[in-house]
A and B are shown apart, each in its own frame.
Chain A
Amino acid sequence: MKKTGNDQAAHFVAILGTTGCGKSTELKRRLALKKRPRVMVWSPKEPLDRYVTFFPGAKLVRNMTEVLDAVGKAGKRGKFALVFQPTLSRAKDEAAFSLFCKIALAAGRLTLVVEELHSVTKPSSAPDGWAKLCFMGRGYGVEVFGLSQRPASVDKAFIGSLSACHCGRLSYPEDQKTMAKAMGISIGDIASLTGFQAMQKDFSTGKTSRLP
């Protein structure tokens, strides 16, 4: 029997690391593990990342009315994939991101990918919709993949909700410190990462591993 509500397993995954450390590759590897018929992507670097080509039939949108229309048409069970490209203006994007998350939560049963999470969150605060989604997303069947180059700038609500974490190399000491603390490992474990090496942690089992 399919689990519903709070019986569902949490699936909040952080993929973090400096630019060029393999975050997108890791994300796409994880996304390819199973079919994801309902997907929403927050993609600030869409001209480069091109999520719209990764998900067949995905629609690129730049306003919230189109997001609402696409999600509304799909209903609670219909298939859809949409990619939202924000403006990269923090003030505008924070408000849009909050609503984007509220829409995801209202739609339920979907995969939400958030690129460059640090561009819409701060260590001490998060847009309302995002905070709500971090607290309640599991119960609504929303799985989240959050990506960022600057973990020290990502909000604690998300870090505190993680079910799994993939951390590539980080050059800034504050970021190393944040991730060491969040993953329960030493700063040296993070600081010593090079190339495409990464530390991974499954928070449900507590198992930590180093790749490769």
Chain B
Amino acid sequence: MDEELKALQGEAAQIDAQLAPTPTPEEGAQIAQPGNQNEAAELSALVQIVSGMFAPMFPSLKEIYTAQSCDALAAAAVPVMLKRGWSVSGLLGKYEEEVALLAIAGPLAFATWQGVTADLAKAAAVQKKTADDTITPQISSSEPAAPVQARA
């Protein structure tokens, strides 16, 4: 490594200590491996994408699934996944494009459904009002009725 970059290693270690969530020592030992860090990053990204997809329907998800909470969840989940032999990297790697499309298309489809439903309801209301106006007889009038004249 270049000398200039080597000189930055100490600063990098200090900053990493601040950036990292606070796992237990056992979790820390496992997560410290570079492969596992990628695993946690990908899992966190996946959770954020999925929660982002449902956010238009359930806005409170935005506040619950923040980057920090997703990181913490991923950091806790990775040791369990390793123990069970599960991997998220393969899944996200293989279906990366599909997940990205779903993340965009899902909220768009929901917004479209909401918009069209609202438009139809509005049109039905206007139609009903027009029909009511046509059927309802004029009960009151500002002009007084002409007196009935007796025939001679």
> Which residues of A are interface residues toward B (Cβ below 8 A)?
46-48, 50, 53, 60-68, 71-72, 75-76, 85, 87-89, 92, 95-96, 99, 102-103, 106-107
Contact = CB atoms under 8 A, between A and B. Distances in A.
Q: Is the interface of A mostly helix, strand, loop or mixed?
A: helix
A129 to B, nearest CB: 9
Interface in B41-74: 41-42, 45, 48-49, 52, 66-68, 71
B67 A66 contact: no
Contacts of A64: 11-13, 15-16, 19
A49 to B, nearest CB: 11
Interface string B13-36: 101101110000000000000100
Contact of B37 (A62, A96, A103): A62
A191 B5 CA distance: 44
Contacts of B9: 65, 68
How many of chain B's residues touch chain A, expressed as a range?
Answer: 20 to 34
Q: Which of B1, B15, B38 has the most CB of A within 10 A?
A: B15
Contacts of A63: 12, 15-16, 19-20, 37
B143 interface: no
A36 to B, nearest CB: 20
B133 interface: no
The 10 closest A-B pairs by CB, nearest first: A72-B1, A64-B12, A106-B4, A47-B48, A63-B16, A47-B45, A64-B15, A72-B5, A47-B49, A65-B12
Given A47-B48, A63-B20, A87-B19, A99 B5 contact: no
Nearest to A97: B15
B8 interface: yes
B2 A106 contact: yes
B119 interface: no
Nearest to B46: A47
A99 B34 contact: no
B67 A88 contact: yes
A28 to B, nearest CB: 15
Nearest to B49: A47
Contact of A95 (B13, B18, B68): B18
A103 B8 contact: yes
Contacts of B68: 87-89
Nearest to A88: B67
Nearest to A59: B38
A76 B2 contact: yes
A63 B20 CA distance: 8
Given A72-B6, A103-B5, A106-B8, 15 more contacts: A48-B103, A53-B100, A60-B42, A63-B12, A63-B16, A63-B37, A68-B1, A68-B5, A68-B12, A88-B67, A89-B68, A96-B19, A99-B11, A102-B8, A106-B5
